[in-house]
Amino acid sequence: MKQTRLSVNINKVALIRNSRPGEFPDLIKIARDCESFGAEGITVHPRPDERHIRYSDIPKLKKVVKTELNIEGNPTENFMQLVLDNKPDQCTLVPDAPNVLTSDSGYDTLAQKSFLKEVVSILHESGIRVSIFIDPEVEQIYGAKETGADRVELYTGNFAKQYKTDPKKAVENHIRCGEAAVEAKIGLNAGHDLNLDNLAYYSSAVPRLLEVSIGHALISDSLYYGLQTTIQLYKYRLR
């Protein structure tokens, strides 16, 4: 079985950069360094207010990322144009409201199947792999499959909260989703609040987990351990 890939979300680096004029820290250099330190993908989540990743960052990242570029976001008209213009390896559809602080819930792939099917089709026409951010519910796996999506990304925020008190119960529905994804023949990603404490348990429990996207915890840990060491620590957890 292939090792789960680590995609580093660099939104928080952009947030620090945006706190002052100029380009420090250098987001593009950080992306290249993450790859040289072992990251197998770079994730960005541009939002309408551009409070971290700016739309103007995307073409620059597209030029330098050599592993996989994953662009997450709400498929508004502006977002879709950004994605189609830059053709990342993967686009992850996330139902963010404009004023949301962070992504804390997934798409209802059953109720919004027609809309998602249309979006997936448009992205596929440009050769872009599509993942849909969902809550860890088995029926959402099958709903995503019906939209034509290539993958789903399980929201792991609630898992992270419950892990501290009851790890086994926290991961139960994620295991069921992993099994359903295998049956439905759809790829499985995961992300949100995964960290050095809970990642090894999660990745070893959930079957056929292809990729995790981690930003906030990883960038925070790098303040103590340094970026290179931190990426290696996360990759070690995935082994």
Dump pLDDT digits (tens) for 101-141.
Answer: 565 679 999 999 999 999 999 999 999 999 999 999 999 99
Q: Residue 96: its pLDDT value, please?
A: 81
Q: Which of 45, 68, 153, 211 is catalytic?
A: 45
**pTM of the shown model:** 0.95
Letter string b/e over residues 203-215, b meaning 16 or more CB atoms within 10 A of that residue's CB: bebbbebbbbbbb
Dump pLDDT digits (tens) for 13-34.
Answer: 999 999 999 999 999 999 999 9
CATH architecture designation of domain 5-238: Alpha-Beta Barrel (3.20)
124 part of the active site: no
* Residue-averaged pLDDT of the chain: 96
Q: Which of 3, 2, 66 is nearest to 37 (CA)?
A: 66
Average pLDDT over residues 75-83: 97
Task: Please say whether the beta carbons of 50 and 63 come within 8 A.
Answer: no
Q: Which of 40, 72, 137, 153 is catalytic?
A: 72
Average pLDDT over residues 78-83: 98
Q: Which tokens belong to 163?
A: 């892990």
Crossing angle between the packed helical segments 227-238 and 216-225, to the nearest 10 degrees: 120
pLDDT at 98 over 70: no
pLDDT at 1 over 70: no
Task: Please say whether the beta carbons of 174 and 205 come within 8 A.
Answer: yes
52 part of the active site: no
Q: Which of 35, 52, 192, 211 is catalytic?
A: 192
Q: Which residues pair with 185 in a beta bridge?
A: none
Task: Please say whether the beta carbons of 172 and 142 come within 8 A.
Answer: no
